[in-house]
Amino acid sequence: MKLKKGIPLIDQHDQHGFWGGKFGGSFIPETLKKPVEDLTNEFKKLRKDKKFLKKRDFYFKNYIGNPTSFVKLNNLTNHLGGAQIWAKVVSEANGGAHKIYNATVHALICKAMGKKYIVGDTGAGYAGKMLSMAAKKFGLKCKIFMGAKDIKRQKPNCDAMRKNGAEIVPVYSGSQTLVDAVSECMRYWVSNCDNTHMCVGSTVGPNIFVKICGWSTAQISRELKVQLKLEFKKIPNKIKLINCVGGGSSAYGFWSEFVDYNRKQIELIGVEAGGPKKSKLHAAPLSRNAKIGILHGAASYLCQNSEGQINDTESISAGLDYPGVSPIHCFLKDTRRARYTYATDEDALNAHVMVTKYENLNPSLEPSHAFAEAIKIAPKLSKDTIIIVNSCGDAKKDRDILRERLGKR
């Protein structure tokens, strides 16, 4: 299994849609073959269409608000006394998280395909909130599928979705979290694929959805590359790019421009959700060595039992609470280009507390997992090492959980 240079990772799959010969693919019911094929052809066409690219860039700049800032966290760096810690503050994007890139692109594709309805899944509620925003912006009718448990724990984002005129469809099956929301969204698409476009909220699902999402979030690393050169005159020699990984959309976007670099120069570190300290459940298929399985149309490392039933997962962070992971991250793991680890709920909470104490930054529980790893390794590293954390979400949505776990703040 080998990475190719000079070709975006999203395009390094074989004719059946597999990365590294075994991750990804399109394990879909016959009914979805045609809509997936149509979408694949449309995307192939649009990504080469200058007008479409202009439109995308226009909305990325004027609607999402590019570029998001790249800042040094001086106080945190001084406190930890090792590597320099920087943040790419993607949470500045319109809506407060990276999910807006994928949502905007899907809404534009939906429009281009002449469909009036758009549906999507959501865990933390950001994918749903952003899709509802984009739908409103582009005049599409929007339905969001969300686990009943997540609706309860991510209320601020639900309020936003409703305000944007989207219908939230609560999902009561299974563990009532993201995995069930994605299943139910796919079922809805099976039944309505003639007039409805589906947006998968991360770099997961059938091959084409992995590609579209990765293509959208790649904006993050395009900006970062420019910002690095501005700040340091060149790409520094020792960089560590740390990102949380649930489905893996923000991590892919954060890394895509840097995959071709030597890993000694730019190390890619993915941090999964380890779940509560003493719990056996987790959402960390890469770092806890899960076996390959098929979920939601793609093969990936997957939290499952020996029979192939999908395991319940548990994490304080709804956005990372997913048993599978992007096939692209499986590929990066097996080619050893990226390293994956996990942070527990407690680690993430502690990191959130520390970052908010020292910096004027309010990372949500998802990037707090990435900060936990940064905090852990920074003191052991030299001062010329540049750690960059993708602060990909804002903690406003976590208001209730933080209040409950940390007391009144």
Partner 1 sequence: MASLLSQAFQNAKNENRPALLTYTVAGDNTKKKSLEILKSISNYADICELGFPHNTPIADGGQIQTSAYRAIKNGIKINDVFSITNDFKKLKKTKPIILMGYYNMIFQYNENKFLDKCKKVKVDGLIVVDLPYPENKKFAAKCKKRGVNFIQLVSPTTSSVRLKKIIKDSHDMVYYISMLSTTGGKLKVSPKKILEKYSKIKNHNKSKNVVIGFGITEKTIKSLKKADGLVVGSAICKEISNSIKKRQNPVTNVTNIVKRLKNKIK
Catalog residues that contact partner 1 under the rule CB under 8 A: 16, 25-35, 173-174, 179, 183, 186-187, 190-194, 291, 293-297, 304, 306-310
Residue 176 Cβ vs partner 1, minimum distance, rounded to whole Å? 13
Residue 152 Cβ vs partner 1, minimum distance, rounded to whole Å? 21
Residue 321 Cβ vs partner 1, minimum distance, rounded to whole Å? 15
**Do the Cβ atoms of 298 and 207 come closer than 8 Å?**
yes
Q: Give SS3 for 346.
A: helix
Determine the Cα–Cα distance for residues 92 and 219; give it in Å rounded to an integer.
14
Closer CB to partner 1, 292 or 353, in the complex? 292
Residue 183 Cβ vs partner 1, minimum distance, rounded to whole Å? 5
Residue 27 Cβ vs partner 1, minimum distance, rounded to whole Å? 4
Terminal-residue alpha carbon distance, the chain: 49
**Do the Cβ atoms of 301 and 288 come closer than 8 Å?**
no
Beta-ladder partners of 293: 300
Residue 404 Cβ vs partner 1, minimum distance, rounded to whole Å? 29
Closer CB to partner 1, 16 or 152, in the complex? 16
Closer CB to partner 1, 266 or 298, in the complex? 298
The DSSP code sequence of 277-317 is TT-S--B-TTTTTPPEEEETTEEEE--B-TTSPBPP---S-
Give the Å distances, CA to CA, from 273 to 63, 304, 345. 31, 16, 7
Closer CB to partner 1, 253 or 293, in the complex? 293
Please give the structure tokens belonging to residue 154.
């991510």
The runs of H, that is alpha helices, within 81-218 are: 99-112, 126-138, 148-153, 155-163, 178-192, 207-217
